[in-house]
Each structure stands twice: as C-alpha cells, then as structure tokens.
Amino acid sequence: MKAVLFLFALVCTLWQCVHAQIPSEQEQHVTSFFNSHGGSTSRHTNNWAVLVCSSRYWFNYRHMANALGMYRTVKRLGIPDSNIILMLADDTACNSRNKFPGCVYASAARDLDLYGDNIEVDYRGYEVTVENFIRVLTGRMDPSVPRSKRLLTDDRSNVFVYMTGHGGNEFLKFQDNEEISAFDIADAFEQMWQKKRYNEIFFMIDTCQANTMYSKFYSPNILATGSSELDENSYSHENDRDLGISVIDRFTHHILRFMEGVNKTSQATMQDLFNVYDYEKFMSHAGVRSDLFRRPLDQTYITDFFGGVSQAEVMSPPLSLSPSSNEGSEPENVPESELPVELDQSLDFTSWISSDTNATSGACTKARREHAECQGVGVDWTSSCSCRMGWE
C-alpha cells in the first residue's frame, strides 16, 4: 500500500516537472508582452482613487471640473466606480445657474462633457467635511456607513488621492468653513500605513501654495506632487464666456491633456508625467516629492496609480473567452487572478484582469462572462450581481 502511494507521488511530481519545464509558445508570447520595458515592479493588486473637491459655490466651478476630469481619467483607465470615492462639495451640473444642464465642461470649447450619463458621487454637498475625509482615509466610521462610501483598501492597494480647492501655507479650505492642515493628512496617511491600508499612495494637489501640503508626510511609499510653491498662487486656465466663470485650472488642465495620450496598456512612466511640468505654462513652480517613494520614477507606470490594471499569471491550457464559448465548459471557481487568456486583440483583456477584488465571487465572475455573451441581446444579466464595473 505504501509502495503504491510512493510510486503514485513520484509519478505525479515527475509529470509536473516535465510539463512545467517546457513553456508553450502561448506563454512565451504573453510573458514577453508583460515584461517588455522591464515589466512593472509594483506589488499592487488593486487600485483605488479618492478625489476631493473641497470648494462650494458656483464661482468655484473649476475645482469641480478638476475633480471630474480626474474622475473621468481614472474611470477611463480602468478603475471601477466601486473603487472610486468622489467628493464634490457642491452641485454644479444641475445648478440652476448652469446654462448646460447635466454637463460640466473643462474647456471653453465645450468639447467633452465630464459629467456624462454614468457618474456616482459618494460624498456630496454638506457631507464633504474634514471629518468625513479623514474617516474615509483611516476607515474609522460608523458601522451603518454603506460600502460605496468606504475606502476598502488593503496592503496591496495603490491609492491615488487628489485634492483641489482653495488652500494656503500647509492648509486646505473645506467649503469656506473649515480647513485641513498638512499635519492632519500626514497623520492620516501614517494611520493608513500602520493599519496596512495601502501599498503606495500618489498624492496630487492643485491649490495655491500646494507644495506645502505634502511637506509634512513621514510615512513610506508616498509619491506627492503639487501645483505651486510656498507664496505662489495656482492659476486658472481659461474662462467660458457663456458660463461666466473659469472652467479649469492650469496644473490640472495640462495633466489631463497628458493623460489623454495615456491608455490602459500604456507604458508611460511617472517621470514622463513630471516632465510635462513647465513654469511657462503653469505660471507657478509645480513640485514633486519622491524621497519617501522607494521605486525610481522612470520605472513607475502611470497606470500603477491611475489605471485599474495589475499583474496577470498565465496558466495552461488556455481557454477561449470568445462569446460563442459554452459556459458549461468553464469551471466556476477559477480565481480571478489566474484567468487564462487568449490574445484576442478585439477584446480589451486588460480590463478583464483588472482586479475588482472587493466584489469577486464565483457568481460575479460568471455573470460578467455572461454579460459579454449576451451583449448582442441588450439585456444586462449583471443586475442580479452586486458588483459594479466602470464600463456598462
């Protein structure tokens, strides 16, 4: 009996070794794609974004447009709504002063509507307070607060924190009523580090004297950038004659223009983004703080923070994900990170692999595959599944 078991084990290990050694051409192709440009050195498995517009009133339209521009960018690059916390202190799109109802524009040419048809604002109006912002970051909230208002990050999450509004030397004004200081944010990030709530943070801030806001950070793995130095103002970019106010700030405008050239599979790095900074365009000295960040900036991808992409492991044998495949042949409990893929160029497979880890379950994965199959009918079967994806 024991001899039989031993022989069986030996055969199994030999079989595994034999099969593991010869990488198929399929695997070589995929591995070379992911490892081109040296591959991403980040250890993150999911992406989150916290976008805060802290100013109220119609004349601060540009701050709302800043935050919405960033919202649209991160959604386009793959972070789903369930992983984005959007805080807007006032209602601009449906404001009675808005000549274009339901629309928020970031340029005077009004070529792109940032509000769109599919937007979820998690904190709005009077709910955008310093207390709620710090509670979101640290995760210390009342048990009745719903999931969509929580930052459910873990120690492998990359978090993009964007703040815009009126600010000054080491403070940011919230709703003209209260202020948050650089020390508060630094302490909140330290709490996040102690509680293992982030892998890396990218902190971007667009206010007057913005660089002072990140001067007090002391936790590791934080990359920070701001729009202006101490005693410098950040300026708006252009006015809209019909709306009667400025629609975008210079710093955010140029960053968004750079981002329009970045897509989900882009290999652009953070150094490319920071090379865009130019005093002639911004009229202020934008700064970067990378001493707390352990990776070199020219090897850190933009999509590590802005996009919802992550690593993928290739398993053999590959299964076809074309819409005609019979769902019965696919095992239902395949873990998300190990989905085998065929390089079907028509399918944007990086979005399949984007780890929406907080909503994965067997039923969700199956429902998402069914969605692709049923797309021709126009019926959305994911209504029975509670996960939310950025693409509908």
Interacting residue with other proteins among 115, 171, 214, 217 (CB under 8 A): 115
168 binds other proteins (CB under 8 A): no
Q: Per CB under 8 A, does 121 bind other proteins?
A: yes
Q: Which stretch binds other proteins (CB under 8 A): 201-209, 241-249, 334-342, 384-392?
A: 384-392
| Under rule CB under 8 A, residue 261 binds other proteins | no
Closest contact distance (angstroms) between CB of 346 and other proteins is 21
Among 67, 79, 93, 224, binds other proteins (CB under 8 A): 93
Binding-residue total with other proteins (CB under 8 A): 44
**In the set 10, 12, 109, 145, which binds other proteins (CB under 8 A)?**
145
Q: Which stretch binds other proteins (CB under 8 A): 27-35, 138-146, 224-232, 306-314?
A: 138-146
* Binder among 19, 37, 97, 147 for other proteins (CB under 8 A): 147
Q: Which of 53, 208, 364, 385 is catalytic?
A: 208
Active site residue 12: no
120 is a site residue for other proteins (CB under 8 A):
yes
284: number of Cβ within 10 Å: 22
Are 306 and 265 spatial neighbours (Cβ–Cβ below 8 Å)? no
- Residue 373 lies near other proteins (rule: CB under 8 A): no
Q: Where along the sequence are the contacts to other proteins (CB under 8 A)?
A: 56-57, 89, 91, 93-95, 100-103, 113, 115-122, 124-127, 142, 144-149, 175-177, 377-380, 383-386, 388, 392
Q: Which residues are catalytic?
A: 166, 208
